Amino acid sequence: MSLMTMTLTSTTDINTFDLFNKSNSHEEWISGTKFNGSKVTSAGNKIVIYNLGNTGKTSTCSLRAYDYTDEFNKLLTEESWVSDFLQKASQLNDVKYLLPFYKEINRLISLKKFDTCNVFIKNVRVSELSDVLLVGILRLTFAWKNKLPAWPLLLNKAKNELNDRGYDSEVLLKGLS
Amino acid sequence: MVIKSVFNDSFENIDTFCIAICRPKRKLNQQHIGILYVDSNNKTSFLHLAWHCLLIKEDPKEKYLWLDVSLDPINKIHLATICELIYDSNQSGGIPYGICIDDTGFAKDGKFTAEENYAGLTCATFVIQVFHSQGFQIIDFEKWKYRKADKCWQMQIIQNLMQQASKEHIQYQRKKIQVGAARFKPEEVAVATSLPNPPHGSEELKKPANILLNTIIDHSNKFA
């Protein structure tokens, strides 16, 4: 798949992201590119998230490129909602916006697509998840944690991330350990 | 435990997810419980298992009291989203009414599941399973006493259920009553969600449940 060929849903329902302060070893920032919308594209093992500035107008912006595995790129192709999720994950903090993604994750579970679900939770970045998603993805999937080898890893990462954000992870993740 | 009503607060002010309880008929010693939550339309809705295969989401009524649950704001939003999932997932077929909570639950796709045919939930065990399905153990089943007095209530309920449920469904309920099925009263479940340090056994809930019951009775008298 070539770069920029996969145009995805716009984020008109959700405010543009403020991701400029976040960085980690997996990200690469490219500044100074002009574009007309917020979207995710993938090429090879890179997934690029385009960010609008806070004004939401066409402007100079930043791009983040993630190195992802082949299996996650396959997931992006097969499950179109995942790209949408990647764009919005940090902003999903109320019922209206969470519900469509809860339904998608549950659909994977109810269809017994545990391998697909495992790829999702293995590759999801806790630093990009909203507070509710940090808890919600684990609660939604914990009944099948024995079928999801990446689940304990996500639990540990979520614990650390919640603590880093100043929450008491023991309280928020109660009942899951 | 703070008990709220339309006389001291408003449904619009609820903190995302809480428990609502009332005495539907003033002269009948029977309470009804459900969940009050902010839904996907940002509206306060009342989700409850009204009767056999009758899961209802509607506007809350003034006769209900409500209590905050002892959870953080993040998990409250998660549970409110789960309520929407449960409502969406159980529209066809609904959730059967049953007096024994054993081997019932919600799959994580929100659909009601039961290991045995004809198993079901009451309004109170519906609330229990919403919590337990997400890892919030509010009731300690090991510390829940079976009360012989509950058998009379269960027999009465089965009598009423005969008009709606199949013979097999009724027969299954009768067998469970014979063996001895624990009852979870709405007021007990309401305080179990509200008190800190769950899970709770029946004995520790006795006193706060009685306080709540008296408040419910007072409140229902205001609508006489």
| Beta carbons of B75 and A144 less than 8 Å apart | no
Enumerate the domain spans of chain A.
Answer: 1-69, 92-177
The CA distance from B50 to the nearest CA of chain A, in Å, is 23
Query: What's the whole-model pTM score?
Result: 0.83
Which residues of A make CB contacts under 8 Å with B? Answer: 93-96, 98-99, 102-103, 106-107, 109-110, 131-132, 134-136, 139-144, 167, 171-172, 174-176
The CA distance from A26 to the nearest CA of chain B, in Å, is 28
**Nearest-CA residue of chain B relative to A176?**
B135
Per-residue pLDDT 10s for chain B (224 aa) are: 899 999 999 999 999 999 999 999 988 889 999 999 999 999 999 999 999 989 999 999 999 999 999 999 999 999 999 999 999 888 877 888 888 777 666 665 566 666 566 778 999 999 999 999 899 999 999 999 888 888 998 999 899 989 888 898 888 888 888 888 899 999 999 999 999 999 999 999 999 999 999 999 999 999 87
- Cβ of B136 under 8 Å from any chain A Cβ? yes
- The three-point CA angle B205-B210-B211 to 5° equals 105
| Beta carbons of A95 and B88 less than 8 Å apart | no
The CA distance from B103 to A54, in Å, is: 51
ipTM metric: 0.85
B111 or A86, which is more confident?
A: A86
- Is residue A37's pLDDT more than 60? no
B72 vs A contacts (CB less than 8 Å) = 171-172
The CA distance from B22 to A152, in Å, is: 41
| Beta carbons of B84 and A106 less than 8 Å apart | no
**Is residue B187 within 8 Å of residue B21, measured between CB atoms?**
yes
Q: What is the pLDDT of residue B92?
A: 77
The CA distance from B163 to the nearest CA of chain A, in Å, is 33
Q: What is the pLDDT of residue A43?
A: 56
Nearest to A135 among B78, B88, B110 (CB): B78
Count of domains for chain B: 1
Q: Could you tell me which residues come within 8 angstroms of residue A40 by beta carbon, excluding any fewer than 6 positions away?
A: A6, A8, A47, A48, A49, A50, A83, A84, A86, A87
| Beta carbons of A103 and B82 less than 8 Å apart | no
- Cβ of B80 under 8 Å from any chain A Cβ? yes
Q: Indicate the SS3 state at residue A105.
A: helix
Which of A112, A111, A102, A110 has its CA nearest to residue A138?
A102
Can you give A6-42 as a three-state secondary structure string? CCCCCCCCCCCCCCCCCCCCCEEEEEEEEECCCCEEE
**Nearest-CA residue of chain B relative to A105?**
B109
The CA distance from A79 to A77, in Å, is: 6
The CA distance from B9 to A175, in Å, is: 32
Q: Report pLDDT digits (tens) over A3-33.
A: 333 333 333 333 333 333 333 333 333 333 3
Q: What is the pLDDT of residue A22?
A: 39
The CA distance from B174 to the nearest CA of chain A, in Å, is 31
- Cβ of B111 under 8 Å from any chain A Cβ? yes
Q: What is the pLDDT of residue B107?
A: 63
Q: Could you tell me which residues come within 8 angstroms of residue B110 by beta carbon, excluding any fewer than 6 positions away?
A: A106, B82, B85, B86, B87, B88, B89, B90
B41: containing domain: 3-221
* Average model confidence (pLDDT) across chain A: 74
> In this predicted structure, which of A1-10, A131-140, A142-151, B86-95 has the lowest mean pLDDT?
A1-10
* Average model confidence (pLDDT) across chain B: 91
**Is residue B23 within 8 Å of residue B186, measured between CB atoms?**
no
- Cβ of B47 under 8 Å from any chain A Cβ? no
Q: What is the pLDDT of residue B149?
A: 86
